[in-house]
Amino acid sequence: MNELIKIRDVSTKYDISARTLRYYEDMGLIKSTRSDDYAYRLYDEDAVKRLEQILILRKLNISIKDIQRIFNTPGSKVVLEVLSKKVDDIDGEVALLHELKEIVLEFIRLIENADFKNDSDVKLLYEKAKGIESQLVNVNYNGNPSTVNRLLEVTEKLDNKVPDIMIVRIPKFRAVTSGLVTFEELFGGGYVEWQEAHNHLFKPVIFNSPDFLYGKDGKVEWIWAIKDEVTETDTQPYEIIEYPGGLYAVAVSVDGDGESHDRVRSKTEKWLESTNFVIDNDREFMGHMIYVDDEIKEGLGYHQMNLYTPIKVKKSNVK
Please, are residues 256 and 303 in contact by the beta-carbon 8 Å criterion? yes
Name the average pLDDT for the chain: 79
Over residues 162-207, the pLDDT tens digits come to 557 889 999 999 999 999 988 778 877 788 889 889 989 999 888 7
**What confidence tier does 141 reach under pLDDT thresholds 50, 70, 90?**
very low
Please, are residues 177 and 219 in contact by the beta-carbon 8 Å criterion? no
3-state secondary structure of 251: strand
Distance CA 226, CA 228 (A): 7
Task: Assess whether pLDDT exceeds 60 at residue 8.
Answer: yes
Please, are residues 24 and 17 in contact by the beta-carbon 8 Å criterion? no
Distance CA 238, CA 176 (A): 6
- pLDDT given for residue 151 in this prediction: 60
Please give the DSSP secondary-structure letter assigned to residue 139: -
List the single range of 11-25, 115-129, 162-176, 300-314 with lowest mean pLDDT.
Answer: 115-129
**What confidence tier does 318 reach under pLDDT thresholds 50, 70, 90?**
very low
CATH superfamily of the 165-313 domain: Regulatory factor, effector binding domain (3.20.80.10)
Task: Report whether CATH 3.30.70.890 matches the domain 5-72.
Answer: no
CB atoms within 10 A of CB 66: 18
**What confidence tier does 143 reach under pLDDT thresholds 50, 70, 90?**
very low
According to DSSP, the residues that pair with 253 across neighbouring strands are 305
- pLDDT given for residue 299 in this prediction: 64
Task: Assess whether pLDDT exceeds 80 at residue 142.
Answer: no
- pLDDT given for residue 201 in this prediction: 95
User: ∠309-268-96 over CA atoms, to 5°?
Assistant: 165
According to DSSP, the residues that pair with 277 across neighbouring strands are 313
- pLDDT given for residue 139 in this prediction: 42
CB atoms within 10 A of CB 299: 10
Task: Assess whether pLDDT exceeds 50 at residue 319.
Answer: no
- pLDDT given for residue 301 in this prediction: 61
Q: What is the mean pLDDT of residues 50-63?
A: 86
- Please state the φ and ψ torsions of residue 238, each to the nearest 5 degrees: -100, 145
Distance CA 172, CA 78 (A): 48
Domain boundaries, the chain: 5-72, 77-159, 165-313
Over residues 205-238, the pLDDT tens digits come to 887 788 898 887 778 899 999 999 999 999 999 9
